[in-house]
Amino acid sequence: MYINGEWRAAKSGKRFDSLNPATGDVIDSVPDGGAGDALDAIAAADAAFAGWAGRTAYERSAILYKAWSLMIERKAELAKLMTTEQGKPLRAAENETQYAADFLLWYAEEAKRVYGETIPGPRGDQRFIIFKAPVGVVAAVTPWNYPISMLTRKLAPALAAGCTVVLKPAEATSLCAIAVFKILEEAGVPKGVVNLVTALDPKPIGDVFTSDPRVRKITFTGSTAVGKLLAGKAGQNLKRISMELGGHAPFIVWQDADPTHAAKGASLVKFLNTGQACISPNRMFVHKDAAAAFTEELTGRVEKLRAGNGLEKGVGIGPLVNEAAVAKVERQVEDARAKGARVMCGGHRLLDNGLDRGHFYAATVLADVTPDMLIYREETFGPVAAIVPFDDDDDVMAMANDTAYGLAAYVYTNNLAKALRTVEGLDFAIIGVNDINPTSAAAPFGGMKSSGLGREGGHEGIEEYLESKTAGFSI
């Protein structure tokens, strides 16, 4: 663990293994921290806060620029580690490492653009000046599915704003977090400003984060259930929160769209990271006139996806994170099959050619999915494309919005008016119009409804780590 500028063991002396999900092999072990380690990290961050907040924006910016440069230099090394520990194909890991570096670069620039404002007072002798100040100590919890970019998406704006941070990474991808913190250390982040606590059991760490008064903000990316739990506990102590939670993205293919083009996009975004992404499309609503062509094209593309160890050339789909993830996918597919869905390809666990050592499920396409099926209601987080035919525009908008989630959605149409009306009518915060990658370090990312609170990325991302201070002057 990295606490107060030093690499150290857990107070308990315990460690836990990090496993390769493609092979089941042990990669390495990491410290198994507990509440005492989290308290040490918070104390270090609290002690370092005044000094870090007091540095100029230009000084903080220079360190973030250095971290960006180091991450770009080590892109191949980081990607290989990510593929080994998380499982995604190497090319996808390289893309994520670039995305992670983008946040360091963006907030190196945004650090120098934290602006206040002046406001005229109602009295002739009164003036208001609004200052922006860092929130304070930030506790961050990050997920396993994007184990490097989700770190920088939180760390970069927090550091740019002048906050100090204690981070608890997902237990499945602690080695990726350690690699990022080594970069921050080498970039010159002062001791105590960033702190890393690894732990197999996240609950004691979360309890400390939500109860310690020195922690002024909690930022979390993960499941909606855990996010609600953390938000509730944080709310009891009036801590600021930002939550990026689950999704259940609709993918709408209107009648005028090119079904072949839409199917190509669907195959790329649905099976990215083996479907283990909060913005992954879960329900593909395809107009009945386009459904046959869309299904044929999508199935043909998915059948060509090769599953395996992401370090092997030609592999397009990696393992799921664990056995529970495989069981969830199996349950949804079998439920859909029993209720009348057609399995166009896949639909089973992969056990041949050594894949039984890992957590592999075949890339699957289900046709004729209906609202009574589990996959229509539950987030899958796996490699299953569920196609729902429709023939009424109003009905499909109602179906798309019929979910507690509100993170991402996708729309395919060649009609500009149709696109605008669809964007306006969807209760989702991120919408790709003929675009399967509507994300960037420069754009806000976050959800509505049960998909979260707050935004990460863009100029809005740094505001999550700033307080407004109003000064009234009588002159």
Whether residue 176 lies in the annotated active site: no
For residues 431 and 413, give the distance between their C-alpha atoms in angstroms, rounded to a whole number.
13
Structure-block tokens of residue 313: 């050339």
Looking at residue 141, its amino acid is V
For residues 172 and 170, give the distance between their C-alpha atoms in angstroms, rounded to a whole number.
5
From 163, 176, 278, 345, active-site residue: 278
Task: From 110, 167, 112, 114, select the one nearest 138 (Cα to Cα).
Answer: 167
Task: From 195, 146, 183, 221, select the one nearest 407 (Cα to Cα).
Answer: 221
From 94, 244, 379, 456, active-site residue: 244
CA angle 93, 463, 277 (to 5 degrees): 30
Structure-block tokens of residue 363: 């890339």
**Burial state string for 430-442 with b = 16 or more CB within 10 A and e = fewer than 16:** bbbbeebebbebe
Q: At what angle do helices 57-73 and 90-110 cross, to 10 degrees?
A: 160
Q: What is the DSSP letter of 287?
A: E
Please give the C-alpha separations between residue 441 and each of 99, 107, 114, 146, in angstroms, as whole numbers: 7, 9, 17, 14
Is the sign of the CA dihedral 96, 102, 104, 106 positive or negative? negative
User: 294 — alpha (psi -120 to 50), left (phi > 0) or beta?
Assistant: alpha
Edge-to-edge strand ranges of the sheet holding 126-134:
117-120, 126-134, 466-474
**Residue carrying the six token digits 């993918």:** 251
Q: How many CB atoms lie within 10 A of CB 471?
A: 11
CA torsion, ordered 432, 438, 442, 443, to nearest 10 deg: 40
For residues 321 and 104, give the distance between their C-alpha atoms in angstroms, rounded to a whole number.
27
Whether residue 117 lies in the annotated active site: no
**Which are the catalytic amino acids?**
244, 278
